Amino acid sequence: MSHDNPVLVELNDINKYYPVGKSTLHVLKNLNLTIEQGEFIMIMGKSGSGKTTLMNIIGFLDQLSDGEYIFDNKDASELTENQKSTLRNEYIGFIFQQFFLIQSLNVIQNVELPMVYGGKKKEKERRQIASDYLAMVGLEGKEFSKTTELSGGQQQRVAIARALVNDPLLIMADEPTGALDSETSEDIMTILSNLNKEGKTIVMVTHDPDMRKYATRVVYMKDGLFLTEEEFINA
């Protein structure tokens, strides 16, 4: 891996504990991870290994218990909740297995939403940007459809467009193809892979080894620890 690119994410010795009854569950164990701009990181591991917890910490959806998190040269521990939600909206685009589209809004309104929250762009500009991204993911003509009228693959395309409209530094994708058939999964992965080739940094969680071919780097997890590929195969 080259070290020419700026570092976007730096996790130093982070731990995450969850209280479970009277005891605590140690979910992430002294993890160190550096992500440079332009990488496509695939976090692989079985159910319960801690992938989603790690993603949630990187995406400012959850707090670490201890350790240091530097995002885009900003120390997360020094950010207020308001600063974190602004950062989440402006710098990070989220894609989830279950799409999480808002059914009471049509397709283009869903895609506009992160710009509405951002409050910086006028309605006409928002509409134009949203429609450009919808065209980019192959959904031209579906702008005013209900989200419930779309196939799973189309819904995930809407979610990808929504994740992109604020031109985020980082795309976080948690099992983005988990609810899709294999052909549709490949279409979605081709979109993500092309975004990465154009320079977007992507972190994706999966338990599907076939997805590794899209990554520039694979991170293996088991029981809250990072393993080498060899350790992972033998585990």
Residues that bind ligand ATP (CB under 6 A): 18, 20, 25, 27, 45, 47-53, 207
| Shortest separation between residue 48's beta carbon and ligand ATP, angstroms | 4
Residues 6+ apart with CB under 8 A from 179: 97, 98, 99, 152, 156
| Shortest separation between residue 27's beta carbon and ligand ATP, angstroms | 4
By beta-carbon proximity to ligand ATP, the closer residue of 51 and 88 is 51
Residue nearest to ligand ATP (CB): 52
Structure tokens, 98: 């279950």
| Shortest separation between residue 206's beta carbon and ligand ATP, angstroms | 9
Structure tokens, 108: 């283009």
By beta-carbon proximity to ligand ATP, the closer residue of 39 and 175 is 175
| Shortest separation between residue 141's beta carbon and ligand ATP, angstroms | 35
By beta-carbon proximity to ligand ATP, the closer residue of 25 and 235 is 25
By beta-carbon proximity to ligand ATP, the closer residue of 47 and 234 is 47
Whole-angstrom Cα distance, residue 108 to residue 119? 17
CA distances to 20, 106, 133, 139, 179 from 130, in Å: 43, 12, 5, 11, 24
Structure tokens, 122: 């006028």
Whole-angstrom Cα distance, residue 193 to residue 213? 10
